[in-house]
Chain A
Amino acid sequence: MIVELGHYALILALLVALLQGVLPLAGAATRNWHWQSLARPAAIMQFLLVSLAFAALAYAFQENDFSVRYVADHSNTRLPAMYRFAAVWGGHEGSLLLWLELLAVWTVSVAIFSRQMPLAVVARVISVLGLISTGFLLFVLTTSNPFERLFPVPMEGKDLNPLLQDPGLVIHPPMLYMGYVGFSVAFAFAIAALLAGRLDVAWARWSRPWTLVAWVFLSFGIGLGSWWAYTELGWGGWWFWDPVENASLMPWLVGTALIHSLMVTEKRGSFKAWTVLLAISAFSLSLLGTFLVRSGVLNSVHAFASDPTRGVFILIFLAVVVGSSLTLFAWRAGSVSLGAKMAWVSRESLLLSNSVLLVVATAAVLLGTLYPMVIDALNMGKLSVGPPYFNTVFVPLMVPLLFLMVLGVRARWRESTLQEWLHPLRSIGVAALLSGGLVALYFGWSWGVAGGMALGMWVVLGTLEPALERLRKPGKIPLSFFAMHCAHLGMAVLVIGVTLVKGYEIEKDVRIAAGDTVTLGDYSFELQRVTEVMGPNYVAKRAEVLVKRNGDTIATLYPEKRRYPSTAMPMTEAAIDTNLWRDLYVSLGEPLNNPAQEWSMRFYLKPFLSWIWLGVLMMVLGGLLAVSDKRYRRSVEARLSGVPA
């Protein structure tokens, strides 16, 4: 009964979405105030209905209602309660419902936090979001209904894919989707501005905080996904250039360009057309990501079973949404003023260069991701594009990006001269090169490490030096100042982490019996024993590994090999000992004889790996600080105190 209620709510939500997508937009075009004012209540109604559907599915999971096909396919009575909730988005249908739920959350937030905006703008934005929601609701209801019943009712469910039974995976998809879906708000603002023919400074100011929040979620979501792959897949890798990872990286790169470009548009009134294009692209790439994951056109560990009708639906949806918005862009953006003049050397020009670099990097990733499909479509054979391509193309693009980052922070708006940077930057450049060279010499020479470290230090010193100078001066410092420096330092920390991990990681793949010792660098690993342990829904072999450094025991690690009887799927649970300077990573392989006396095991020593996560967290913190900047609340406060904004 509850399940049918959820299904019914979803159908009603479709009707409301249609209303929300059409009437306020028509109202804004015809200046019909009544129609425009429907936007907010429609958004709230939509949110309630989709939430009801979401709650109904979650309820079916908690109650183990295996008469619902989706529940029977993705849950099991012995699945722990936390995963039974996360299983709601553990498959195709449910993850689309999560998409819808989050879209409703974003829309209702726009409806609530937009009091200072003119009604026509709010009406257009909410309408565009309503149209997107209509598309997704149609998709769910016609091809991917999570409420479909199953008869005869099975006694037991098939269980959630063991790979997904990890705390990281409970929050990774919602975070990532919050980011993906969040760009729909930036997109809606851009479309609304194009429709109204008013690409102005106000538009940039309104969309900036929304874009920032979406970017923060996306950054955090990608970081979580990477962390999950590192801890859960047992290969010690944290980024695989898998098509689905790329699908999340592309909107992130464009989103990063967008938040910077929006700043220029807000402060200087320039790059309007470029900013709008970035806003459209960021969301289009999110949609493309959905298409790639859901349609099965690409081989990926993330791809769910493919269904051609679903692929066709998303493709049509993609064509309609992106095609119409790019047409609108081509139609309207030509008449946009170019904004204030800028000199060849200025903060604007440097930010523009970096945003072009980010877009080129995105194009490179897109090309690599789609290349196998394009070649196949042209009947030129089957191939796959791997990390060598991405590393070769991506890294050289990041070098000028990081170099210009420091210059951009220093340059003044409008016009800057090379002379005024030359003096401080010369010493910073020399210091960065020296420290990069020294680190590489100390740990073992490699040009890659020297270069990566020098770039990382260039950003660290180049960011800290002006920051300290500013802190010494009197006067109130806005939060956005700390935000920028925190995020930029995070980038540097990430670069340093990646450089050192890539440069100095050691791995050993061994055949080992109890009592044997493996040595990696200063660390020795002794396998004590392998025992059998029972989990709630799995049986595991657990190894006990004693880690010693210079004879002192520093940790005991317990890597596991789990077997989930419900799916007969083996899972590797790596054990990791982390500190700021290195990760010790052990994963247990297969028994090599029967009864098992010897095991295959992998040992990794990964220096500075935690800096990767630290860098991501600093960027996230930077984004959060930027959103909390008083500027974005000012108009609200002004309204509350009765002063016109």
Chain B
Amino acid sequence: MKKIILVPLALFVVLLAFLAVGLRRDPHEIPSPLVNRPAPAFSLHTLQSGQSLFSPEAMRGKVWMLNVWATWCGACQEEHPVLVSFAREGLVPLVGLSYKEVQASDEPAGKPLSPEDKLAMARMRSQAWLRAKGDPYSLVAMDLDGRVGIDYGVYGVPETYVIDKNGVIRYKQIGAVTPALLEQKIRPLIQELNRS
């Protein structure tokens, strides 16, 4: 009988230990199955006009970052200054992936845009946006129909990937990159990857 009354206290101590550990975890952090897998290949038009296509193969041998964004995305606006000041350091190339820039609601009533018109419209809007807010990207690939986004498992915009010299995804951030995240996770990771 005497020992039984200690049970609630003991159970509570265990619970407390779990709560204390749980507090340090972020339930919103979703592990990506893509981490430590090769970055899916693609070949897309770039923002910088012309007919040349960009594909991740071109980045072989370099550590680089891929940032998924769009002008219609609110969180991208918050994230943008962080990226601009980070890119200014020139630590790694930052490639943009413009995701579904032209939305169905942008199309005139009942008349879907041709892929060429869509590309032109997306380029115009994105360039104006980057001119106004600063351009952190070494280049931007235009994922107009969002298919590359599907390959990369994009949940929402913005998302950011760190990819190593062998083209393997080493880190994925869902949601905006914050200065704290940049300093605590991304920068140490890049420095480590650059050394190897």
Interface residues of A (CB under 8 A from B): 273, 277, 280-281, 284, 291, 295-299, 308, 311-312, 315, 318-319, 322-323, 326-327, 329-330, 333-334, 370, 372-374, 376-377, 381-382, 568, 593-595
Contact = CB atoms under 8 A, between A and B. Distances in A.
A596 B110 CA distance: 10
Nearest to A338: B1
Contact of A334 (B2, B13, B74): B2
B181 interface: no
A316 to B, nearest CB: 10
Interface of B: 1-2, 5-6, 8-9, 12-13, 15-16, 18-31, 74, 104-105, 107, 109-110
Given A291-B19, A373-B25, A329 B8 contact: yes
Contacts of A594: 104-105, 107, 109-110
Contacts of B110: 593-594
A326 B109 contact: no
Given A297-B22, A297-B25, A319 B5 contact: no
Interface of A is mostly: helix
A315 B21 CA distance: 11
B25 A323 contact: no
7 contacts: A297-B22, A297-B27, A299-B27, A308-B24, A329-B5, A370-B18, A594-B104
A296 B9 contact: no
Given A297-B23, A318-B19, A382-B29, 4 more contacts: A315-B16, A377-B18, A382-B31, A568-B74
Given A295-B23, A330-B6, A382-B31, A318 B16 contact: yes
A333 B5 contact: yes
Contacts of A329: 5, 8-9
B118 to A, nearest CB: 15
A584 to B, nearest CB: 31
A313 to B, nearest CB: 11
A372 B27 contact: yes
Nearest to A381: B31
A198 B7 CA distance: 22
Contact of B19 (A297, A323, A327, A595): A297
A376 B5 contact: no
Contacts of A312: 23
Contacts of B107: 594
Nearest to B9: A326
A373 B27 contact: yes
Contacts of B109: 594-595
Contacts of B31: 381-382
Closest 9 CB pairs of A and B: A377-B21, A373-B22, A326-B9, A299-B27, A297-B22, A311-B23, A330-B5, A330-B6, A376-B25
Given A296-B27, A595-B109, A323 B8 contact: no
A377 to B, nearest CB: 4
A479 B6 CA distance: 39
A330 B22 contact: no
B105 A323 contact: no
B30 A322 contact: no
Contacts of A299: 27-28
Instruction: Among B5, B21, B30, B107, find the residue whose CB has the most chain A CB atoms closer than 10 A.
Output: B5
A284 B19 CA distance: 14
Contacts of A381: 31
A381 to B, nearest CB: 8
Given A297-B27, A299-B27, A376-B27, A323 B12 contact: yes
Contacts of A593: 110
B20 A382 contact: no
B23 A376 contact: no
A372 B28 CA distance: 12
A323 B16 contact: yes
Nearest to A372: B27
Nearest to B13: A323
A401 to B, nearest CB: 22
Contacts of B16: 315, 318-319, 323
Contacts of A374: 18, 22
Contacts of B20: 315
B69 to A, nearest CB: 18
Instruction: Among A284, A297, A329, find the residue whose CB has the most chain B CB atoms closer than 10 A.
Output: A297
A330 to B, nearest CB: 5
Contacts of A273: 5
Contacts of B12: 284, 322-323, 326
Contacts of A330: 5-6, 8-9
A252 B13 CA distance: 23
Contact of A377 (B25, B29, B105): B25
Contacts of B29: 382
B22 A377 contact: yes
Nearest to A324: B9
A382 B6 CA distance: 32
Contacts of A291: 19
Nearest to B7: A330
A281 B12 CA distance: 10
A373 B5 contact: no
